[in-house]
Chains A and B, each alone.
Chain A
């Protein structure tokens, strides 16, 4: 069975790709950069142990929620709230990066 964190990661990547496509010419450079960074980071995280753990579930849930919120805003055409939504997406991504470090080894 595919771990929930990995399922979320795939869904986040798909959502970000769709947002990039739907925004098209309306996308500001900084928004494009956030989307590219999110996709690249999640692709990288998919190869890490952390994403398979239970700890990845709440943080990837949050990220997926942020991406879904952006999709809803794009669908409604409400551009005034885009900036805030992108900030939240970036914040969740940073949280995932921090949590995903799991630095060190458990044995010496």
Chain B
């Protein structure tokens, strides 16, 4: 029996796809997520074990890391929920991450640990010449980014081999209602990444020895480099909505263009160009119109 890959936060939208990717590649998977999550479509699948638990509970985490071959740590409080109460966010995103790393070190030492961090940890980089590298200073603009910076720092001490992926904004190829205010200025540099490519990066990072102990930016690559208004215009054009309807931040958000040369060289995850993403959106839009 193969030892499973642990996927924390595995019942979420990215986690489910990570599990799919791993199963497709012949791995067994252990999904660890909160008991209240929706596990429809996951239960009963061959090679997939579901463990309902809580990162804030030591016993539950120790159980989760037993006999695993690798761990992909996605579980976290994300914005906007992360911005409500700092102590709750830190309990989950910082203490929970440290607890997981300590449990791995004690119970399953030496296995790969991939941590999903965020490019939002760089804060406002609009005054810096792009692209933003992994050596750029980190300066949080919100509680979420602050929690990720602290979690990264702890991981370097507790589990130095951790692969830290600072992931950019994830673009999902489906037509959904936009936010009231887009989280960037109209003229701000942005470089998002396709959801499927993030999944590839997360899974590949867990496999490759050369990634151990390193920090990588995960973003879409040069085809995804645009501005806030450019990105939104493409989306709104597809929906037939004029750009004037969009509201942007008046001050810089955390978005920018990122140096992904190393991550792409090692993980080969940038498989979906921005143009291919737009084509997927167009197909989805036609499907909706014809339904």
Q: Chain A residues in contact with chain B, CB under 8 A?
A: 1, 3, 48-50, 52-55, 58, 99, 102-108
CB-based contact A55/B241 at 8 Å:
no
CB-based contact A53/B176 at 8 Å:
no
What DSSP secondary structure best describes chain A's contact surface?
A: loop
Contact of B171 among A48, A49, A104, A106 (CB under 8 A): A106
Q: Does B192 contact A (CB under 8 A)?
A: yes
Contact of A107 among B170, B242, B288, B289 (CB under 8 A): B170
Q: Does B239 contact A (CB under 8 A)?
A: yes
CB-based contact B239/A54 at 8 Å:
yes
CB-based contact A108/B169 at 8 Å:
yes
Known A-B contacts A52-B241, A53-B241, A55-B288; A107 and B183 likewise in contact (beta carbons under 8 Å): yes
CB-based contact A107/B171 at 8 Å:
yes
Interfacial chain A residues near B179, Cβ < 8 Å = 105, 107
Which residue, A50, A53, A54, A103, has most C-beta atoms of chain B within 10 A?
Answer: A53
- A25 to B: closest C-beta gap in Å: 40
CB-based contact A107/B177 at 8 Å:
no
Contact of A104 among B169, B170, B176, B289 (CB under 8 A): B176
Contact of B175 among A48, A52, A102 (CB under 8 A): A102
Bound state CA distance, A1 and B176, in angstroms? 23
Q: Which of B158-210 contact A (CB under 8 A)?
A: 169-172, 174-179, 183, 192
Question: What are 14 A-B pairs with beta-carbon distances under 8 A?
Answer: A48-B177, A49-B178, A49-B241, A53-B239, A53-B241, A54-B289, A55-B285, A102-B176, A104-B176, A105-B176, A105-B179, A106-B171, A106-B174, A106-B176
Per-residue contact bits, chain B 274-291, to A (CB 8 Å; 1 contact, 0 not):
000000000001001100
CB-based contact A58/B240 at 8 Å:
no
Interfacial chain B residues near A1, Cβ < 8 Å = 242
Q: Which of B212-250 contact A (CB under 8 A)?
A: 235, 239-242, 245
Which residue, A49, A55, A99, A102, has most C-beta atoms of chain B within 10 A?
Answer: A49
Q: Does B88 contact A (CB under 8 A)?
A: no
Size category, B interface = 20 to 34
- A4 to B: closest C-beta gap in Å: 8
- A59 to B: closest C-beta gap in Å: 10
Bound state CA distance, A93 and B235, in angstroms? 26
11 additional contacts, CB 8 Å, given A50-B177, A52-B245, A99-B288?
A49-B178, A49-B241, A53-B239, A53-B240, A55-B285, A102-B177, A104-B174, A105-B178, A106-B235, A107-B192, A108-B172
Q: Chain B residues in contact with chain A, CB under 8 A?
A: 13-14, 78, 169-172, 174-179, 183, 192, 235, 239-242, 245, 285, 288-289
- B285 to A: closest C-beta gap in Å: 8
Which 4 residue pairs across A and B have the least CB separation, nearest first? A54-B240, A102-B177, A53-B239, A104-B176
Interfacial chain B residues near A53, Cβ < 8 Å = 239-241
CB-based contact A3/B241 at 8 Å:
yes
Which residue, A3, A50, A105, A106, has most C-beta atoms of chain B within 10 A?
Answer: A106
Nearest B residue (CB) for A1: B242
Contact of A108 among B170, B174, B177 (CB under 8 A): B170
Contact of B177 among A3, A58, A104 (CB under 8 A): A104
CB-based contact A55/B289 at 8 Å:
yes
Nearest A residue (CB) for B179: A105
Nearest B residue (CB) for A55: B288
Bound state CA distance, A28 and B5, in angstroms? 63
Bound state CA distance, A3 and B245, in angstroms? 11
Contact of A58 among B14, B78, B235, B289 (CB under 8 A): B289
Bound state CA distance, A3 and B241, in angstroms? 8
Interfacial chain A residues near B178, Cβ < 8 Å = 49, 105-106
